């Protein structure tokens, strides 16, 4: 299949009992070329540290990060195509969980807060930046795969 992606999730019981629900939620996400990311559920009252690892990526964070990375990569491509030099891009987004029509938990709303710094002789106006974000959102296959409401709330423009 053209454009197929693969990922592997690995978890091992180790010395944990599992049946008493006191087992580690730590696992590994493995991607192409051996890249590994530590994963876990987020620590909570029900699943405290050390059963959950606070320094690992939880599935909600990974879900959010995949959208942010996809959007950013398309934004950078469109900015370069239009002759804009991007020096810095950071997005401190937030995903809010809610219940869907079946009463199931889902990421109901995602707010992107892309903070982009441009330099050079051609600096885009605010409407051009909005258009770059719009194009990136339209082309991002992760965004096209989600049911979440996706909102843009960028900070004021910065120029170098």
Q: How far apart are CA 146 and CA 18, in angstroms?
A: 33
Of residues 1 and 16, more confidently modeled: 16
H-type helices in the chain, by residue range? 59-81, 126-139
Ranges 2-16, 47-61, 129-143: which has the least confidence: 2-16
Q: What is the mean pLDDT of the chain?
A: 93
99: confidence class by pLDDT, cuts 50, 70, 90: very high
Please compute the mean of the pLDDT values over residues 105-128 and round it to a whole number: 95
For 10-51, what is each residue's pLDDT tens digit?
999 988 888 888 899 999 999 998 899 999 999 999 999 999
> CA-to-CA distance for 111 and 94, rounded, in angstroms?
5
pLDDT of residue 158: 65
Long-range contacts of 36-44 (CB under 8 A, 24+ apart): 37/62, 39/9
End-to-end Cα spacing for the chain: 43
């Amino acid at each position: 299949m053209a454009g197929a992606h693969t990922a592997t999730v690995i978890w091992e019981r180790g010395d944990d009992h599992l049946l008493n629900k006191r087992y580690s939620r730590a696992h590994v996400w493995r991607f192409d070329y051996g890249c590994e990311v530590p994963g876990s559920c987020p620590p909570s009252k029900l699943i405290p540290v050390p059963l959950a690892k606070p320094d690992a990526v939880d599935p909600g964070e990974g879900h959010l990060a995949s959208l942010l990375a996809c959007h950013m990569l398309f934004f950078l491509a469109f900015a370069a195509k239009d002759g804009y030099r991007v020096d810095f891009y950071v997005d401190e987004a937030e995903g809010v969980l809610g219940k869907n029509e079946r009463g199931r938990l889902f990421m109901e709303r995602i707010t992107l807060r892309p903070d982009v710094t441009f330099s050079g002789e051609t600096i885009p106006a605010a409407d051009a930046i909005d258009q770059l974000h719009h194009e990136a959102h339209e082309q991002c296959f992760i965004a096209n795969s989600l049911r979440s409401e996706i909102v843009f709330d960028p900070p004021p423009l910065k120029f170098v």
